[in-house]
Homo-oligomer: A and B are copies of this chain.
Amino acid sequence: MARGGQRPVGEAFAALPVAVDAMGGDRAPGEIVAGARQVAENTDINVALVGRPGEMGDVGDLPWFPASEVIGMDDDPGNAVRRMKDSSLVRAAEAVRDGKAMGMVSAGNTGAAMASALLRMGRLPGVIRPAIATPIPFPGGPWPTVLLDSGANAECSAAMLVQFAQMGAAFAERRYGIEKPRVALLSIGEEKSKGSPLEKEAHGLLAEGMGGSGFDFVGNVEGRDFFEGKTDVIVTDGFTGNVALKTLEGSMRFLIGALTEILGRPDVKETADALYTHLLPLAAALDPENTGGAMLLGVNGVCVISHGSSSSVAIVNAITVAHDLAVGGLVDEVAASVTPID
């Protein structure tokens, strides 16, 4: 992790705080600060807030980096990051760049978090474009399935998809201890002839072993395979990945909502109570609050992007993941995994 030049190493690095954007997210600053305090009070992880002095509420003993501006959830990411140089997102990314924080966490504007990390931390050598890796909960399996790119790049080349495979595998290995992750390409049929020219080309490169030996390429999977346990990592362009992720979330939310409504009806309410002991673990396993957030891969630092609706629980998980991956050397692992692709 000495890649930045100015960053401390060894124990000094491990003592750095995780920088938490106190101002980003639908429930900021309340839930964000509450999550940060919980981590600081109950673990050995150091945490520092980033935000507007006086607007973060009761921060307890937490240290903070001042930032006078706030990028809104709907602000245009590129413009906002260029214009608001004293925003909490930009300052959080700078803290990582300057060796003052081991990583950053934000539940704010995803595009702006990405742009801040990219512009301030910089891209890792050889990486064409960073990508967002999102763990998809898989209650039937030992670990979530990692989907990338889930929204950073609406347009991709086949070479980018090969790098997403490399970076996703490095992430899955560090995050879940999978020795040689299985990586699949998202397409519209299992045969290599299926898909648009982009997927066909990427399939060819991956099947030829252009991605290296860090993962097993298991071919194409389809949208229906997210819960089939066929693969550890699913690679796609950021447009398709974002649509798939949101379709999945929307379907789950719809069905869980319909079920909750049914369980509340007068004639089943009583019997329904017995069911909750079984339903709650399933709901918890599916809840994105518990997966620790998405990770921006390919930048020179750890950047965890938590769901916009994050509660303190999600923030606790995101901070813990950011800490573990920063100390565990994720950035070096990702840097080592990526090869230039012609």
Contacts and interface: CB of A to CB of B under 8 A. Distances in A.
A292 interface: no
A181 to B, nearest CB: 21
Pick the most buried of A224, A227, A256: most chain B CB atoms within 10 A of its CB.
Answer: A224
Interface residues of A, number: 56
A225 B155 CA distance: 22
A41 to B, nearest CB: 35
B268 A243 contact: no
Contacts of A196: 154-155, 239
B262 A250 contact: no
Interface stretch (A12-20, A58-66, A274-282, A296-304): A274-282
A231 interface: no
A275 B279 contact: no
B195 A223 contact: no
B248 A223 contact: yes
A163 interface: no
Contacts of A68: none
A252 interface: yes
A282 to B, nearest CB: 6
A193 interface: yes
A32 B139 CA distance: 36
Contacts of A238: 188
- One complex includes copies of this chain to the number of 2
Contact of A243 (B223, B252, B275): B223
B195 A239 contact: yes
B278 A268 contact: yes
B188 A239 contact: yes
Contacts of A272: 271, 275
Given A223-B247, A244-B223, A246-B222, A275 B252 contact: no
A3 B20 CA distance: 65
Nearest to A227: B254
Nearest to A249: B224
B271 A186 contact: no
A148 to B, nearest CB: 14
A342 interface: no
Contacts of A240: 239-240, 243
Given A188-B154, A243-B243, A278 B262 contact: yes
A262 B279 contact: yes
A208 interface: no
Interface of A: 74, 76, 139, 151, 154-155, 186-188, 191, 193-197, 199, 222-228, 236, 238-240, 242-256, 258-259, 262-263, 265, 267-268, 271-272, 274-275, 278-279, 282
Which 9 residue pairs spanning A and B have beta carbons closest together?
Answer: A223-B246, A224-B250, A223-B247, A271-B271, A251-B251, A227-B254, A188-B242, A224-B246, A154-B196
14 contacts: A154-B195, A223-B242, A223-B243, A223-B249, A223-B250, A225-B250, A226-B251, A236-B243, A240-B240, A244-B247, A247-B247, A248-B251, A262-B279, A268-B278
